[in-house]
Amino acid sequence: MLTSSSSPPFTPLAARPSPLHPGPSRSLQSQRPPLCALTLTSCSPGPASFPARSPLHRQPGGGPITALLPFEPPPAPANGSACAGAVGLGCALCSVCAMDSAQAGPDTLSQPQPQPARPPSASPAPAPGSQGMGRSARITQLAGSRPSPRPQPSGAPSRDMSSAPTTPPSVDKVDGFSRKSVRKARQKRSQSSSQFRSQGKPIELTPLPLLKDVPTSEQPELFLKKLQQCCVIFDFMDTLSDLKMKEYKRSTLNELVDYITVSRGCLTEQTYPEVVRMVSCNIFRTLPPSDSNEFDPEEDEPTLEASWPHLQLVYEFFIRFLESQEFQPSIAKKYIDQKFVLQLLELFDSEDPRERDYLKTVLHRIYGKFLGLRAFIRKQINNIFLRFVYETEHFNGVAELLEILGSIINGFALPLKAEHKQFLVKVLIPLHTVRSLSLFHAQLAYCIVQFLEKDPSLTEPVIRGLMKFWPKTCSQKEVMFLGELEEILDVIEPSQFVKIQEPLFKQISKCVSSPHFQVAERALYYWNNEYIMSLIEENSNVILPIMFASLYRISKEHWNPAIVALVYNVLKAFMEMNSTLFDELTATYKSDRQREKKKEKEREELWKKLEDLELKRGLRSDGIIPT
């Protein structure tokens, strides 16, 4: 068993597929005051996609600047010119530009000349060459040297936009529904942190010989040199930069993975700091901010890390390093410390599911090798979950952390410590309240069941906690709760079942009565479970009165024939369990229904008398019926 103070056998992490947690991307429409059409292009015109950070964005290398406009822009001039008023001075609708275009002429204006000093009361002197110009041409000259608009051909319809609205209609006013409900699924995109940004000059690495091509005595020194070379970071967002060096680093990392796997005596004391330094340089980075408002994990594609060709090999190398037979935790603990683990846990928020899967394995190996870090790892996971539940409700690696915890809980020594019980009640149970429960519910339910198998006395607080947080309006979450509850009942002790049977089956009765057929169906499937049926049969005198009224009413009134058929099977099973009690409950239910119908009829008759009395009173007041 595994504790925080001793080193018993460690439970290996089950190789299970982890649910994907793709990262969101946003296509942000810029909301600006209405301007004239503004498109400065150095390439072919056409629609452009904008980043989410700025409504007006210049692509690197002189790409297009594009603003999203609330009205149809006028046709762009053939020579690529744009309205100087919109660019430099921010004219509102450019109707002046449209009216003065004929006066401006097709010639390109020269640079404005310096103006002589004048007294404050004097009118501004026109710039040389500005006599006879239209207003737009003069504005253009003041703003800088820009080509003037192309003159409209005679007889062409005027594009005077002076009557256009001055304020664009709000998207929310035009369409009251959320844009998220009608948007298309997000496509895969690559992400990169700030550390991978190119410095603008090519990176050169000195090629080193292969490890297998040098004598054995020189291999340790060459191994260290290759580790130092692999600390160099490349920009994978620029797919054309440093192609040769990227491939060289990839082949070097592959060589290091093979070397540490098959070689003996390669892990000397000098290699530990270099290995940790190389891994830290490559994997520790500031993750880009995640915008989860428009992200739907069930529809959107996951966001992939652009540097994954190198990052994957670094993770693979580190796992082989931790799993090596020559690995000595007593030496490595100087470098793999609490700071290293904290940075590792922060990476679990990565949007790339492949990286989170590697991180899961790395953290599990560290937990198994370093006894002094176990309590710290559990505490930090506890903090991550609390922040996730009560503050952010966003963390991509919850499923992976819960999967690690499932293995850790399985190794807890008995009796359970108070801190472990508190973690169950204060952290794991509240995790059921978040909106993204479906992304990690399977791992969460596994952890809950592991706790109950360790200590059956925790069954009552767990089930009462689930009753407290039972969903009221989300049918999907209700189905998940019912599934988890069945897993708990599969391992519950009969003595613990007696303590919670009344509140439990009152909730199941409500679920059976649900108009949502999936909720009712999932609750009725409990009667297909042999162990649960044995528990119900032993306590039928308590459970049958709780369930009977709902079941009998559903058998007569439910809209779904499949649910009605399942209810008939349940009633039949109850009748076989305790026919005497079943007959008594049937008679009681029918008499209660007759009494209710009688009261309802009396109520209707009373209302009818009151309506007749009111009608007569109205007729008398109108003089139709004599008093």
Residues 401-415: tens digit of each pLDDT: 999 999 999 999 999
- Per-residue pLDDT of 311-334, as tens digits, reads 999 999 999 999 999 999 999 999
Mean pLDDT, residues 523-534 = 95
Residue 98: how many other CB atoms lie within 10 Å: 20
> Measured between alpha carbons, how far is 524 from 567 in angstroms, rounded to an integer?
7
pLDDT band, residue 96 (cuts 50/70/90): very low
Q: Two tokens at 539? A: 């306590």
Contact 145, 109 (CB under 8 A): yes
- Exposure pattern of 409-427 as b/e (b: 16+ CB <10 Å)? bbbbeeebeeebbebbeeb
Residue 515 has a pLDDT of 92
Residue 235 has a pLDDT of 84
Contact 236, 306 (CB under 8 A): yes
Task: With a cut of 50, say whether residue 428 has pLDDT above it.
Answer: yes
Task: With a cut of 60, say whether residue 137 has pLDDT above it.
Answer: no
Task: With a cut of 50, say whether residue 165 has pLDDT above it.
Answer: no
Give the residue among 197, 195, 376 at the shortest CA–CA distance from 280: 195
Residue 242 has a pLDDT of 79
Residue 557 has a pLDDT of 87
118-127, 415-424, 462-471, 478-487, range with the lowest pLDDT: 118-127
What is the average pLDDT value for the chain, to the nearest integer? Answer: 76
Task: With a cut of 80, say whether residue 135 has pLDDT above it.
Answer: no
- Report the share of the chain in percent with pLDDT over 70: 66
Give the residue among 283, 274, 421 at the shortest CA–CA distance from 344: 283
Residue 192 has a pLDDT of 53
> Measured between alpha carbons, how far is 557 from 346 in angstroms, rounded to an integer?
53
Residue 154 has a pLDDT of 44
Element (H, E) at 97: helix 95-104
116-130, 318-332, 414-428, range with the lowest pLDDT: 116-130
Task: With a cut of 50, say whether residue 170 has pLDDT above it.
Answer: no
Q: Does 88 or 224 have the greater pLDDT score? A: 224
> Measured between alpha carbons, how far is 37 from 548 in angstroms, rounded to an integer?
71
| Highest mean pLDDT (candidates 38-52, 354-368, 602-616) | 354-368
> Measured between alpha carbons, how far is 576 from 526 in angstroms, rounded to an integer?
17
* Angle at CA of residue 343, ends 340 and 345, nearest 5°: 110
> Measured between alpha carbons, how far is 478 from 441 in angstroms, rounded to an integer?
12
Task: With a cut of 50, say whether residue 233 has pLDDT above it.
Answer: yes
Prior bond to 415 cis, omega within 30?
Answer: yes
pLDDT band, residue 201 (cuts 50/70/90): low
Q: Two tokens at 29? A: 């429409």
Residue 144 has a pLDDT of 46
Element (H, E) at 66: strand 65-66
What is residue 526's DSSP assignment? G
Task: With a cut of 70, say whether residue 253 has pLDDT above it.
Answer: yes
Residue 200 has a pLDDT of 57
- Per-residue pLDDT of 447-468, as tens digits, reads 999 999 999 999 999 999 999 9
Q: Write the DSSP assignment of 378-433 as a string of letters.
A: HHHHHHHHHHIIIII---TTHHHHHHHHHHHHHTBPSSPPHHHHHHIIIIITGGGG
Task: With a cut of 60, say whether residue 29 has pLDDT above it.
Answer: no
What is residue 525's DSSP assignment? G
